[in-house]
A and B are shown apart, each in its own frame.
Chain A
Amino acid sequence: MTSSASVSFLNEARRVAIFGGTHGNEMSGITLVNMWIKNGDEIQRNGVETKPFITNPRAVEKCTRYVDTDLNRAFTTENLSAPSKEDLPYEVKRAQQINLLFGPKGSPNAYDVIFDLHNTTSNMGCTLILESSSDHFNLQMMHYIKEAIAPDCCRVLLTEHPLLKYSTSRSVAKHPIGLEVGPQPHGVLRSNIFEAMRLVVKHALDFIELFNQGLEFRPCTLDVFRVSEKMDYPRDTNGNIIAMVHPHLQDCDWEPLNPGEPIFQMFDGTSICYEGVGTVYPTFINEAAYYEKQQAFVTTRRETLAARAIKKAHD
């Protein structure tokens, strides 16, 4: 891999995986991956080996988020190197298997790209999740996708944060991409949400095909929302939730939230207001799975990233 001042030359992205069922009740990805395992025509591209894969089959079978522990938090260095003879939680063993099949994480043999398909109960629309602001391949892909689905919106959430970043199943790949589409209740399949996710994957694969064919992608900018702070529900001394996301904030993912505006409503109707500094852009507002992770929503701040020109390196 060499880069001149203007163009980054990157290896071709030949091995691509599409993960569904990392959470066993997020139905769009599960349905798409099962469909593509049966008939993969739609995801075939010249010069690309695409592998659809159900990451957490036991959770999918039970239509539950996870069996022992959240698979999408399980890919820590500690878990991946834990001796496999121990009585490990199901998802930790599964993470080790996935790391062998699609990794090893951090090695030259790892898959080039992994798309991890998720749904959320939050009103986030289509959201691409970016783990690193210096992954120019991903920056260019996300820029391509956003342009391709315009005028429909696709936001980019940057989870690069020393405390809030988490060890995802997709992180075994060189270029990990998360795709969240909502709002959809867990366990439910909505046609519009399903088709939106399908279309984003289609554009992503088109990008990879074009890149592998040698197309140079010019420098561009990518507007992102960088995670800032996790906000929990107000709780009593026993840890029970004592207020709900305020009607003013509910469903308002990506809209500006200013200090003094209501964020929670107590059961008797009293409002609790945001006391931060400056305007933030909340997201993952009222995601069902985050109640147990002590998160009512996460605040983000807007940023513009500069993506370098990229082109496939010659062999």
Chain B
Amino acid sequence: STNLAPKKIAKYGTCIGGKGDEFKGCSLLIIAWDDRNCSPYQGRNIDLNCMMEPVSTSPLSRIAICGGTHGNEMSGVYLVRELQKQNLEKVGAASITTVISNPRAIAMCKRYTDMDLNRCFTDALLSSPLKDDTPYELRRAQELNALLGPKGSLQAMDLVCDLHNTTANVGLSLITYFNKDWLILHIYRHIQRSITSAPVRLILLDIPYADAYSVDTLGKHSLSFEVGPQPHGVIRADIFNIMKEAVNKTLDWVQCYNSGRAFEGGEVDDVYIHVKSIEYPKDPVTNHITAAIHPQLQDRDFGLLHQGEPMFLTFSGDVLKYEEEEALHPFFVNECAYYEKNIAFHLARKIKITIPTLQVKR
């Protein structure tokens, strides 16, 4: 049936057809398919090993690691403090800048003081004039833009890596923007292959660069780490150790990359593109939430949610079900900070990406 047909997405001017010859020389090839089918085109045999040209990119000379962008997400706060205590300044040829992003929020152990710092980095907000009543986080965002950016300029950090926790059971999730960034995809693949202490996934946000709002977008390459589940305001050793390992693997990769190693291309899987968000059901009069995430969905981030499966259990015992035909993958299920944004969870489509061989420019 047509509802099960895989969705083919072409980006950056390439076309995807049926014969395989058309794939040669593709700069980016994305194939989305029905998770149950596990084959890209029904009834067709397509050779996915298309001949992608190797890519060479600039060295990563200046790297920033940010913690405490949300003041109650403790792994990043403590990890950055530890890196500062160890005076981590260089990894091979790359210089490392460690940043405590939101010191006021950290002192109060709150996500933010006036507004969410990690929504302040759009082009519009970064260029808005400062006034007496400008929120603290907006001022801080412009300071960080001067320190690590300016966003979009040649002076910006080569890589900005931002550390977060979530109350959702996402394991280790990398988040970046949906652009032609082979380097980030290679880092993801390296981490995915070398970390066994947690499931590793990549979330792609399909947002134009000017509207991209998070602190990592100050860098030429952007990467956020989310590790969960961890309550806000709490530091768990197991979660901290996963974050520490992820940062170490990233720095290892950077060192190898800068020293000239070629990283072979191929397929990258467990990639999720954000499609939409689901709101909590609310009482129209009191505006109070009337249901909790259903026990069958709670803690099942990245599982498949099929039509007819439960999403919410109301306080009066009713089950609210997912009604859409396309099965999607929930993530950030029951993240504390999203209650005020009225988001119960996000839904994503799972895709595979083929990446080219990558090597630093000599």
In the assembled complex, which residues on chain A have CB atoms less than 8 Å from the CB atom of B286? 34, 38
On whether the beta carbons of B289 and A247 are closer than 8 Å, the reply is no
Q: Indicate whether A241 reaches chain B with its CB closer than 8 angstroms.
A: yes
Interchain CA distance A240-B82 in the complex, whole Å: 12
Asked if B236 contacts A245 (CB within 8 A), the reply is yes
A191 touches B236 (CB 8 A): no
B contacts, CB < 8 Å to A: 78-79, 81-82, 109-110, 167, 229-238, 240-241, 244, 286, 288-289, 292-295, 298, 313, 315, 334, 336-337, 339-340
Give the total of A residues in contact with B, Cβ under 8 Å: 33
Tell whether, in the assembled complex, residue B298 and residue A186 are in contact, meaning their CB atoms are under 8 Å apart: no
Residue of A121, A189, A190, A247 touching B234 (CB-CB under 8 A)? A121
Residues of A within 8 A of B (CB): 31, 34-35, 38, 63-64, 121, 183-192, 194, 240-241, 244-247, 250, 265, 267-268, 286, 288-289, 291-292
- Considering the chains assembled together, what is the distance between the CA atoms of A194 and B316 in angstroms? 12
Contacts of A185 in B (CB 8 A): 167, 229-232, 234, 336
Q: Is the CB of A191 within 8 A of B231?
A: no
Closest Cβ of chain B to A196, distance in Å, is: 11
Chain B hits for A240, CB < 8 A: 81
CB distance from B1 to the nearest CB of A (A): 34
Give Cα distance in the complex from A288 to B298, angstroms: 21
A residues in contact with B234, CB < 8 Å: 121, 185, 286, 288
Residues of A contacting B241 with CB < 8 Å?
247
Q: Which of B79, B233, B244, B292 meets A191, CB within 8 Å?
A: B292
Q: Which of B109, B235, B288, B295 lies in contact with A244, CB distance below 8 A?
A: B235
Say yes or no: A247-B238 contact (C-beta < 8 A), given A188-B334, A267-B78.
Answer: yes
Give the interface SS of chain A, mostly helix, strand, loop or mixed.
loop
B298:A250 contact, CB within 8 angstroms: no
Complex interface: chain A residues within 8 A of B336 (CB): 185-188
Query: Given A63-B339, A190-B334, do A31 and B233 touch, yes or no (CB 8 Å)?
Result: no
Q: Which residue of B lies closest to A32 (CB)?
A: B315
A9: min CB distance to chain B, Å? 39
**In the complex, what distance in Å separates the CA atom of A121 from the CA atom of B167?**
11
Inter-subunit contact A121/B231 (CB<8 Å): yes
**Chain A residues, Cβ within 8 Å of B295:** 191-192
Q: Are A191 and B313 in contact (CB under 8 A)?
A: yes
User: Which of A34, A185, A286 has the largest number of chain B CB atoms within 10 A?
Assistant: A185
B232 touches A250 (CB 8 A): no
A243 to B: closest C-beta gap in Å: 9
- Please tell me if the beta carbons of B237 and A247 are within 8 angstroms of each other in the complex: yes
A59 to chain B, nearest CB (A): 13
Contact between A190 and B235 (Cβ–Cβ < 8 Å)? no
- If A185-B336, A188-B167 touch, whether A241 touches B292 (CB-CB below 8 Å) is no
Q: Is there an interface contact between B231 and A190, defined as CB atoms closer than 8 Å?
A: no
- Complex CA gap A288/B167 in Å reads 13
| A250 adjacent to B233 (CB under 8 Å) | no
6 A-B contacts, Cβ less than 8 Å apart? A188-B231, A191-B292, A194-B292, A244-B78, A267-B244, A291-B233
Contact status of A244 and B298, CB under 8 A, knowing A63-B339, A188-B334, A194-B292: no
Known A185-B167, A191-B298; contact A241-B235, beta-carbon cutoff 8 A: yes
| B237 touching A246, Cβ below 8 Å | yes
Instruction: Please measure, in the bound complex, the distance between the C-alpha atom of A241 and the C-alpha atom of B288, giving whole angstroms.
Output: 37
Write the chain B residue with the least CB distance to A194: B292
Having A191-B293, A267-B78, one finds 10 other A-B pairs with CB under 8 Å, namely A38-B286, A64-B110, A185-B230, A186-B232, A192-B295, A194-B315, A241-B78, A244-B240, A247-B238, A288-B231
Across the interface, name the chain A residue whose C-beta is closest to B283.
A38
Tell whether, in the assembled complex, residue A189 and residue B236 are in contact, meaning their CB atoms are under 8 Å apart: no
Docked pose: A192 CA to B294 CA in angstroms: 9
Q: Which B residues are in CB contact (< 8 Å) with A267?
A: 78-79, 82, 240, 244
Cβ contact of B298, chosen from A63, A187, A192, A289, cutoff 8 A: A192
A174 to chain B, nearest CB (A): 31
Closest partner residue, chain B, to A291 (CB atom)? B233
Q: Write out the residue numbers on chain B whose beta carbons fall within 8 Å of the beta carbon of A245.
A: 236-237
Q: What's the minimum C-beta distance from A199 to chain B, rounded to whole angstroms?
A: 13
Task: State in angstroms the CA–CA spacing of A183 and B235 once bound together.
Answer: 14
